[in-house]
C-alpha cells in the first residue's frame, strides 16, 4: 500500500529582518494516522499573514516563537480526510492553526470551527470571514460600540483589518477617516473602501491634514503599529471624550517607523478609554460568542458576514484580505 507523504515547511533559522526562503526548508514526512479524538485534515489553503514575522522572530511577542525545526505556524482551511472524533466527519471543511503543511493531524479541540455553507469560497475563512474580519468586528463593535454620527479614525486603513473596520463603521452610520501609507493606498481608501476622508502618514503635511480630517473624532482604531504615534494629533486624544482600540501589531518586528515612539499606546493619555486585545483570543472565542460549540458552528455565518448582509442588503464588506496560498489542485 502506497504511503501518503506529507510535505511540510519548517523553520530552519531565525531571520533578523524580513524572512526569506533560506530561513525555511521543505521536509517530507509520512502522514500519521489520527488517534482517538483526533482528526486528519488535508490543507487546501494556507494563510500568509504579516503576524508571522513576529512568530519567527526571537524578539518577545504576544505568542511563543515558532521553534527551530518546527512546522511553520499558520491558520489554514482544509478538508477532513479521516476522523476519530464524533464532532467531525470526512468531507467536512474546517479551519484552525494547522500550519504550513499538506496534512495535519490535530486534536478535535484544535479545530476552530467548520466552514462552508455560506455560499462563499472557503478561502474567505482566512480573510474576511476569518481572523482579519473578526478582528475588525470585535475591535469596532464590541470595544468601540460606535453610534451613528460619530467619527471613526482608522490606522492602516487600506489593510486587511482596517479596510473592514472602515466599512463596518460606515454601515453603522459613522463618518470615517483612514490613515494609510502613500497616495495609492489613500486613493484605495477613498475610492474602494469609501472612507469619507483619508490621509497619508508619510506626507509632510500629515499632522495638519489629519487635524482637518478628524474635526472632533469620537474614536480611533489602530489595527497595527505604523500610524499609532500620529494618532495624538487627532481630536480623539485632545477631547478626552473618545476611546482607542489597539489590535495586533503584525509586521513591525525589528523595524521602527520614523514616527514610531516605541509604544503602542502613547495616544491613550487623554482618551476616555484605551483597550487592546489579542485577535487570536477573539478568534478562538467565536463559537462561544455564536452561542454554539465548535462543531455546531458548521454553517453559522461569521459575525462579520452577518454585519454586512443582514443589517442592510445594500452593504457588502470588501476586504484586502490576507494572502491565502492554495496547495491543492482540487477542492
Which pLDDT tens digit goes with each residue over 232-255? 445 443 333 344 454 444 444 443
pLDDT category at 316 given cuts 50, 70, 90 is low
Q: Which domains does the chain have, with CATH numbers?
A: 5-127+322-326 (3.90.180.10), 131-280 (3.40.50.720)
Please tell me the distance from the alpha carbon of residue 250 to that of residue 252, in angstroms, as a whole number: 6
Look-up: residue for cell 489613500?
A: 186
Q: Judge contact between 124 and 132, C-beta under 8 A.
A: no
DSSP code, position 68: T
User: Which residues make Cβ contacts (< 8 Å) with residue 119, sequence separation at least 6?
Assistant: none
Backbone angles phi, psi at 26, to 5 degrees: -100, 125
Look-up: residue for cell 483597550?
A: 275
pLDDT category at 110 given cuts 50, 70, 90 is very high
Q: Judge contact between 304 and 128, C-beta under 8 A.
A: yes
Please tell me the distance from the alpha carbon of residue 274 to that of residue 203, in angstroms, as a whole number: 27
The residues that bridge with 30 in the sheet, in sequence order, are: 5
Backbone angles phi, psi at 61, to 5 degrees: -140, 180
The predicted pLDDT at position 45 comes to 96
User: Which residues make Cβ contacts (< 8 Å) with residue 212, sequence separation at least 6?
Assistant: none
**Of 28-32, 252-256, 283-287, where does the model show the most confidence?**
28-32
Query: 187 by DSSP, 3-state: which?
Result: helix
Amino acid at each position: 500500500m502506497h504511503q501518503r507523504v506529507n510535505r511540510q515547511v519548517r523553520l530552519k533559522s531565525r531571520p533578523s529582518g524580513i524572512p526569506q526562503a533560506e530561513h525555511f526548508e521543505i521536509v517530507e514526512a509520512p502522514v500519521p494516522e489520527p488517534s482517538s479524538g483526533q482528526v486528519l485534515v488535508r490543507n487546501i489553503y494556507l494563510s500568509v499573514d504579516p503576524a508571522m514575522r513576529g512568530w519567527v522572530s526571537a524578539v518577545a511577542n504576544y505568542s511563543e516563537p515558532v521553534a527551530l525545526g518546527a512546522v511553520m505556524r499558520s491558520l489554514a482551511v482544509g478538508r477532513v480526510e479521516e476522523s476519530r472524533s464524533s464532532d467531525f466527519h470526512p468531507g467536512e471543511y474546517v479551519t484552525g492553526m494547522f500550519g504550513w503543511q499538506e496534512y495535519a493531524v490535530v486534536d478535535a479541540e484544535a479545530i476552530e470551527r467548520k466552514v462552508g455553507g455560506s455560499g462563499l469560497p472557503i478561502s474567505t475563512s482566512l480573510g474576511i470571514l476569518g481572523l482579519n474580519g473578526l478582528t475588525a468586528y470585535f475591535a469596532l463593535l464590541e470595544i468601540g460600540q460606535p453610534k451613528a454620527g460619530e467619527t471613526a479614525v482608522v490606522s492602516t486603513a487600506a489593510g486587511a483589518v482596517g479596510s473592514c473596520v472602515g466599512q463596518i463603521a460606515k454601515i453603522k452610520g459613522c463618518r470615517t477617516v483612514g490613515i494609510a501609507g502613500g497616495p495609492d493606498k489613500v486613493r484605495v481608501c477613498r475610492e474602494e473602501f469609501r472612507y469619507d476622508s483619508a490621509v497619508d502618514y508619510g506626507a509632510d503635511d500629515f499632522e495638519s491634514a489629519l487635524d482637518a480630517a478628524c474635526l472632533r473624532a469620537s474614536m480611533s482604531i489602530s489595527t497595527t503599529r505604523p500610524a499609532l504615534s500620529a494618532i495624538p494629533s487627532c481630536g480623539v486624544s485632545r477631547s478626552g471624550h473618545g476611546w482607542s482600540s489597539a489590535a495586533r501589531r503584525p509586521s513591525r518586528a525589528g523595524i521602527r517607523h520614523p514616527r514610531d515612539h516605541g509604544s503602542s499606546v502613547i495616544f491613550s493619555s487623554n482618551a476616555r478609554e484605551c483597550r487592546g486585545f489579542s485577535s487570536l483570543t477573539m478568534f478562538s472565542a467565536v463559537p462561544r460568542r455564536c452561542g454554539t460549540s465548535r462543531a455546531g458552528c458548521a454553517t453559522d455565518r461569521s459575525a462579520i458576514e452577518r454585519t454586512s448582509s443582514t443589517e442592510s442588503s445594500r452593504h457588502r464588506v470588501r476586504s484586502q484580505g490576507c494572502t491565502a496560498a492554495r496547495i491543492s489542485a482540487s477542492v
